[in-house]
Chain A
Amino acid sequence: MRRFAITVLTGLGLAATAAQAAPFKCPATGGDLVFGQEANINTLDQMTSSTISTRNIAMNIYESLMTRDENNHPILELAASMTEAPDHLTYTFKLRPNIHFHNGKAMTSADVVASFDRYNKVGNQRSTLDNVKGWDAPDPMTFVIHMKVAQPTFIEALSSFSVPIVIIPAEDRDVPAQQLTHPIGTGPFQLVESVPGSFVKLKRYDGYQPNTSFDNRTGFGGYKVACLDTVTFRIVTEPGARVAGLKTGELQGVEDLPTKSLPELKKDTNITVLPLNNWWIQIANPNTSFPPTDNLLVRKAIQAALDMDEIMDAASDGNYKLNVGFQFPNQPDYTDAGKETYNLHNAELAKKYLAEAGYKGEPVILLTNKDYPPMYNSALVMQQQLQAVGINAQMKVVDWPTSVQMMLNTTEGWNFHFTGWGTQPALGALATMQFMVQPNSTYKPKGGIDDPEVLAAWRGMNDLPTAEGRQAAYAKMQQLVLEKVYAIPFGSFTKVQGVRSNVGGFVPFRIPRFANVWMTH
């Protein structure tokens, strides 16, 4: 897929070399591909949104200095090269030439400076730049980042697509958060019209310059070509309507097909069903500041009682994989450390832990919501399993914003919060394990003070000089989190997408990518 490579210069730099093989060519061009999107979109201001629905569309419009490839490795996108100084305190980016924004303006380092300025002010993930002393543009094609102290994981953070530092024209530097309503990027598609609640229409950007360092699309980057004239993201929140649209051909692609419709769709020769494994981790996070889950033995009893197959089957309608921990087996960071704690469904062990804990039937409150049925269903099954071993498990069902606010702001009135982690596990171990340390500690450590062993492992993940050392620290951290039951990951979901069989080049990914996708007529 990559016809050259990003050359890794012993941690000193990344450089794109010229491609050797013939680059991707559209087998067919033209047409309007209508894609049925599951969730409503609120904003296309990518710097200030971390929702999947925004990313679905905006990542076809914007680009960044760096992004991730198909295997989640950092790659250059708008940068032609990146050099890291020997003291690891300076990163110098040379920009790709002849890049133009959708408004026709040539992109220079002044736009990159403005984009970083805005991100630092309103970007949702602006802590990425906490350790950055400043940035400047010594010439129109060079952008330099100066660090306060060396940070081995900085490039991983910079290339994150959770809330990417997308490059926008300098004129948009001071647009307040959420108010960039007419997005102008450098990507292969540009915005035509956005009608929240109904559709977003993109069209091919004829001035797009593919990245010739690659021969094909990879991840969010690579050699991208817009084969389609237009792409229309139609908001179809009702699963039955998405299935109907795909069947009739009104929708050429859809996301999140309901499991019960799959047998019928698979028989339809006009439709290709595309499973995307490891879409998210279904998880319950304990409150370790509130009894009885402040007691490790009670948490271990709960962990021992659970049958993950039953929980995931109910949560996903049968479309799941059992998975230990916080990364997936196809990811470079994956480890099964702590597997001895997973999927035990051992009632005797659970009762033994309860007896040791002196458990007297105090309620264990499962805080969940019905906005996301997988969260509700997993809580329901967990409640039954806990009651079966004598735990007084009770459900507290509210809506999603309320459950999150309760989880964030109170350490009373709940014992487990049900959620799902999608983007962070996909970004890697570092992005995921931040949920286990302040200010994001989901297990609500007493007094807001992190478990010192977990914190030490986290620091190792961030600061150790070698990749091997950081990976070992991650394995240690996962082991600790599972042993101390600071999280109960149930398993991973499979998200099923589908396209009409005349659609080519559509490969399931974290977002539906429409570069290098074509339709035959």
Chain B
Amino acid sequence: MGAILVRRLGSAVPIMLIVSLITFGMIHLIPGDPAIAIAGLSATAEQIANIRHDLGLDQPVLTQLWRWYANLFQGDLGRSLLLGQPVTHVMLLRLPVTLALSAYALAITLAIGLVSGIVAALKQNTWIDQAMMVFAMLGISLPNFYLGLLMIILFAVDLGWLPTGGYVALADDPLGWLATSTMPAISLALLLAGLLARITRSTMLEVLRQDYIRTARAKGLSNARVVLKHALANALIPITTVVGIIVSLLISGSVVTETLFSIPGIGQLLTQAVLNRDYPMVQGGLLITTALLVLVNILVDVCYALLDPRVRYDGV
């Protein structure tokens, strides 16, 4: 297990360096620069030129690249051009918001996706199976932006149960956080739950047809024991892969939901940074996000090893 961990962590270093170089190159290749965003809509050419000069954007790209790597190797990700604050500081403020929301959405995703997938597999070709899969397709098909708006109208405007938007930190007010995060978490989760339910169903169906399941049933084991101990345990490996992807999507892909509900997470932050060409924020933010995603993948690998002894022994 330790060897797997060390090897995975070792391979993360070149990944991060390559990502940082690609990010730098791509964001500088896109036309436009942050001075235009800072200057505003009806700014004059003179105002934009002044900002470019003040921020050092009129320096050669290679000089900017050198400065980026020189600072990076000293642990300094730079300062956001638009926010005027260190990138690390901004990311540390925003990450807990996204992680808390992602955890909440993941819990809903797992609860709905796993349960409905297993039940649908066990009740294959019945009305329950059909209903579960229709629900899953609905979740996958409905854009979460639209779903979010529908929920705002129903639960906030008509019923008045939940606030229309805004964010309360979990540490400040857990109930307030629950109130402001429930609709965003559901709108995020329904899409992913649909995906997970379909994967779980097909994986479970495949496992349930295996000889050892028939053997277990022939031995007279209870249905619950067959499903939970023998079938689910083996179905969990592909499901874990999907859950890893879901976690990655939640961390990096919640921009629409964050925008709709005014949640200050990293999805919204990085999208704004790209749109406004905030180079240090994009470079540093994506580097941190990449580190997180690499970490998630390492955790998935560890889960494989825990779930499947063959992976453990092969890895050594």
List residues of chain A with CB under 8 Å of any chain B CB.
Answer: 40, 42-43, 45, 48-52, 54, 122-127, 163, 176-181, 195-199, 234-238, 240-241, 244-245, 247-248, 250-251, 280, 371-372, 398-402, 404-406, 408, 419-424, 434-435, 439-440
Asked if residues B165 and A423 are in contact (CB atoms below 8 Å), the reply is no
Which of B46, B49, B79, B167 has most chain A Cβ within 10 Å? B46
Report the separation of the CA atoms of residues A163 and B79 in the bound assembly, to the nearest whole angstrom: 23
- Name which residue of chain A comes closest to B163, CB basis: A250
Q: How many residues on B have C-beta within 8 angstroms of the other chain's C-beta atoms?
A: 56
- Name which residue of chain A comes closest to B278, CB basis: A42
Binds A, one of B31-39, B126-134, B225-233: B31-39
Asked if residues A180 and B275 are in contact (CB atoms below 8 Å), the reply is no
Q: A43-B82, A402-B31 are in contact. Are A178 and B262 (CB under 8 A)?
A: no
Chain A residues, CB < 8 A from B46 = 127, 439-440
Chain B residues, CB < 8 A from A126 = 50
Q: A235-B262, A420-B42 are in contact. Are A401 and B82 (CB under 8 A)?
A: no
Chain B residues, CB < 8 A from A241 = 149, 152, 164-165, 260-262
Partner of B42, one of A179, A197, A238, A422: A422
Partner of A45, one of B84, B152, B156: B84
Chain B residues, CB < 8 A from A424 = 42, 44
Partner of B39, one of A50, A244, A250, A419: A50
- B23 interfacial contact with A, CB 8 Å: no
* Residue contacts A-B, CB under 8 angstroms, 29 given: A42-B38, A42-B82, A43-B38, A50-B39, A50-B40, A123-B50, A178-B55, A181-B85, A196-B269, A198-B262, A199-B166, A199-B262, A234-B165, A234-B166, A235-B262, A241-B165, A241-B261, A244-B156, A250-B165, A401-B276, A402-B30, A405-B33, A408-B45, A423-B40, A423-B41, A424-B44, A434-B44, A435-B44, A439-B46
Q: Which residues of chain B (149-185) have a CB below 8 Å from chain A?
A: 149, 152-153, 156-157, 160, 163-167
Q: How far is the CB of B82 from the nearest CB of chain A, in Å?
A: 4
Asked if residues A177 and B30 are in contact (CB atoms below 8 Å), the reply is no
- B198 interfacial contact with A, CB 8 Å: no
- B259 interfacial contact with A, CB 8 Å: yes
Asked if residues A244 and B152 are in contact (CB atoms below 8 Å), the reply is yes
Q: Which residues of chain B (16-57) have a CB below 8 Å from chain A?
A: 30-33, 36-51, 54-55
Report the separation of the CA atoms of residues A202 and B85 in the bound assembly, to the nearest whole angstrom: 20
- Name which residue of chain A comes closest to B45, CB basis: A440
Which of B30, B54, B164, B265 has most chain A Cβ within 10 Å? B164
Asked if residues B31 and A405 are in contact (CB atoms below 8 Å), the reply is yes
- B246 interfacial contact with A, CB 8 Å: no
- B93 interfacial contact with A, CB 8 Å: yes
Q: A50-B39, A408-B45 are in contact. Are A399 and B275 (CB under 8 A)?
A: yes
Partner of B47, one of A43, A163, A195, A196: A163
Asked if residues B84 and A180 are in contact (CB atoms below 8 Å), the reply is yes
Report the separation of the CA atoms of residues A51 and B37 in the bound assembly, to the nearest whole angstrom: 8
A-B residue pairs, 7 tightest by C-beta: A401-B32, A198-B264, A51-B40, A42-B82, A178-B84, A177-B54, A197-B264
- B252 interfacial contact with A, CB 8 Å: no
Asked if residues B262 and A234 are in contact (CB atoms below 8 Å), the reply is yes
